[in-house]
């Protein structure tokens, strides 16, 4: 099977269309970052408290909002998380409510607010640690174990927690759900000391303002170092202008990807930055493949104009470019569709970035080379030196 054979598309002739396309997306992204959604920093960078709560029934967003308001958490944002059938809610406190003196106060407040109608003197089994359950069991000793109770009850407590977290996805709605995995006597003793609330906390992220600022600086530095690394390596392997062209291209990809996150108002988390750094490497791959071919063809086609050589090189590598991009895109799409909510931002960045990265190695990197050549000829200088050999 073969999709592309001896294509002869004049890519360089379409450079103004490409430029217009890239400008529209870059400008839209910049516009959104400046005037619309801003840069949607995730909790890693802005600081704050995120509590992911799973309910045993469909949560009522308005009632939740009112409850948070009554608890004094006026700026709490409440969003549904993941598929509606999962009954998950993400409660988001901003950095003002995340005090470094008492980092987890917001979390405690949220949990206390949700724990309405708690019977006096009972603990909430859905939000109890295995240790608390063990202590209760040791105290009650429902299995009449006597001396070696500590170890046995630790096992039972773990079995209860596993039944809750692994069996029921984090929330028990009835004590009967413990049947089978937990000792009947131990299970029967639980209702005396515990009640079942209608929610369980799945995940908590609390980032203080200091760490947020620290991570922001580091993400920027990492991106800058990555770009500088590319520039140096390509300058060393080719000519400096190739390095510059590749870095401008990758910068363009980064800008459009971040801009897309701003336009879509999706949070940029640490893993999104990881995805962007991966894209810097990936987009460079594509560019290098084309550059390598240009380097090879320059030697073979000494009489042709550079634009001719570049066009030929792009066409020759087109099949590979589309195939690789297509396959990588499909794997990333699998990640986006099946990888779960935690990786959604990460895989979204990859989905966008792979499309842009492939496009840009053809539409941005190569025209920069040719434009630089034309400019030199216009200035009456020699055309660019042939890139160094292999």
| From candidates 141, 292, 308, 374, binder to other proteins by CB under 8 A | 292
Residue pointed to by tokens 């290098």: 288
What mask of x and - would describe binding to other proteins in positions 15 to 44, judged by CB under 8 A? ------------------------------
Three-state DSSP class for 301? Answer: coil
Residue pointed to by tokens 């202008």: 241
CA distance 156 to 162: 10
* Residue 181 C-beta: closest distance to other proteins, Å: 14
Residue pointed to by tokens 């724990």: 115
Residue pointed to by tokens 């570049």: 310
| From candidates 161, 244, 255, 377, binder to other proteins by CB under 8 A | 161
Which stretch in 114-122, 168-176, 258-266, 303-311 sits in contact with other proteins by CB under 8 A? 168-176
Tell me which residues in 353-382 interact with other proteins (CB under 8 A).
none
* Residue 285 C-beta: closest distance to other proteins, Å: 4
Largest alpha-carbon pair distance within the chain?
A: 97
Which of 95, 90, 51 lies closest to 211, judged by CA?
95
* Residue 346 C-beta: closest distance to other proteins, Å: 6
Tell me which residues in 206-225 interact with other proteins (CB under 8 A).
206-208, 210-211, 214-215, 218-219, 221-222, 225
Of residues 339 and 377, the one with the C-beta less far from other proteins: 339
CA distance 341 to 294: 42
Tell me which residues in 53-72 interact with other proteins (CB under 8 A).
54
- 342 contact partners, CB below 8 Å, separation of at least 6: none
Q: Is residue 196 at the binding interface for other proteins, with CB under 8 A as the rule?
A: no
* Residue 108 C-beta: closest distance to other proteins, Å: 9
CA distance 388 to 390: 7
Q: Number of residues in contact with other proteins, rule: CB under 8 A?
A: 84
Of residues 113 and 130, the one with the C-beta less far from other proteins: 130
CA distances from 98 to 103, 106, 178, 323, 356 (A): 6, 6, 36, 48, 37
| Residue 220: both structure tokens together | 């920027």
What mask of x and - would describe binding to other proteins in positions 295 to 334, judged by CB under 8 A? -x-------------------xx-xx--xx--xxxxxx-x
Q: Is residue 109 at the binding interface for other proteins, with CB under 8 A as the rule?
A: no
Q: Is 68 left (phi over 0), alpha (psi -120 to 50) or beta?
A: alpha
Which stretch in 59-67, 72-80, 165-173, 370-378 sits in contact with other proteins by CB under 8 A? 165-173
* Residue 224 C-beta: closest distance to other proteins, Å: 10
H or E element at residue 48:
strand 48-55
CA distance 316 to 7: 8
Of residues 70 and 217, the one with the C-beta less far from other proteins: 217
| From candidates 13, 342, 375, 386, binder to other proteins by CB under 8 A | 342
| From candidates 93, 202, 348, 369, binder to other proteins by CB under 8 A | 202
Tell me which residues in 229-288 interact with other proteins (CB under 8 A).
229-230, 233-234, 237, 270-271, 273-274, 277-278, 280-282, 284-285, 288
Of residues 168 and 307, the one with the C-beta less far from other proteins: 168
User: Phi, psi at residue 52, to the nearest 5°?
Assistant: -100, 120
Q: Is residue 52 at the binding interface for other proteins, with CB under 8 A as the rule?
A: yes
User: Phi, psi at residue 43, to the nearest 5°?
Assistant: -60, -30
User: Phi, psi at residue 59, to the nearest 5°?
Assistant: -75, 150
């Amino acid at each position: 099977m073969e999709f592309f054979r001896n294509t002869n598309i004049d890519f360089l002739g379409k450079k103004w269309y490409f430029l217009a396309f890239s400008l529209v997306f870059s400008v839209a992204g910049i516009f959104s970052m400046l005037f619309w959604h801003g840069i949607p920093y995730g909790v890693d960078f802005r600081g704050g408290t995120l509590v992911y709560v799973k309910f045993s029934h469909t949560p009522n967003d308005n009632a939740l909002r009112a409850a948070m308001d009554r608890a004094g958490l006026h700026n709490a944002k409440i969003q549904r998380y993941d598929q509606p059938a999962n009954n998950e809610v993400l409660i988001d406190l901003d950095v003002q409510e995340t005090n470094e003196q008492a980092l987890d106060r917001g979390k405690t407040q949220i949990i206390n607010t949700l724990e309405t109608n708690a019977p006096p003197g009972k603990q909430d089994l859905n939000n109890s640690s295995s240790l608390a359950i063990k202590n209760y069991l040791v105290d009650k000793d429902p299995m009449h174990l006597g001396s070696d109770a500590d170890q046995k009850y630790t096992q039972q407590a773990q079995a209860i927690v596993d039944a809750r977290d692994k069996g029921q996805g984090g929330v028990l709605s009835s004590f009967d759900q413990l049947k089978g995995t937990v000792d009947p006597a131990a299970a029967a003793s639980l209702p005396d000391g515990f009640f079942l609330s209608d929610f369980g906390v799945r995940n908590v992220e609390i980032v203080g303002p200091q760490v947020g600022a620290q991570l922001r600086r580091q993400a920027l530095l990492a991106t800058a170092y990555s770009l500088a690394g590319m520039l140096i390596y390509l300058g060393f392997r080719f000519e400096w202008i190739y390095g510059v062209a590749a870095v401008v291209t990758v910068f363009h990809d980064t800008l459009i990807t971040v801009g897309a996150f701003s336009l879509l108002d999706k949070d940029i988390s640490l893993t999104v930055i990881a995805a962007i750094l991966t894209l810097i490497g990936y987009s460079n791959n594509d560019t290098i493949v084309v550059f390598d071919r240009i380097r090879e063809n320059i030697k073979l086609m000494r009489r042709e104009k550079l634009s001719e050589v570049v066009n030929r090189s792009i066409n020759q590598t087109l099949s590979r470019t589309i195939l690789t991009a297509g396959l990588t895109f499909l794997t990333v799409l699998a990640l986006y569709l099946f990888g779960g909510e935690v990786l959604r931002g990460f895989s979204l960045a990859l989905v966008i970035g792979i499309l842009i990265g492939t496009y840009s190695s053809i539409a941005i990197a190569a025209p920069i080379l040719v434009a630089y050549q034309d400019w030199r000829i216009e200035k009456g200088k020699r055309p660019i030196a042939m890139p160094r050999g292999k």
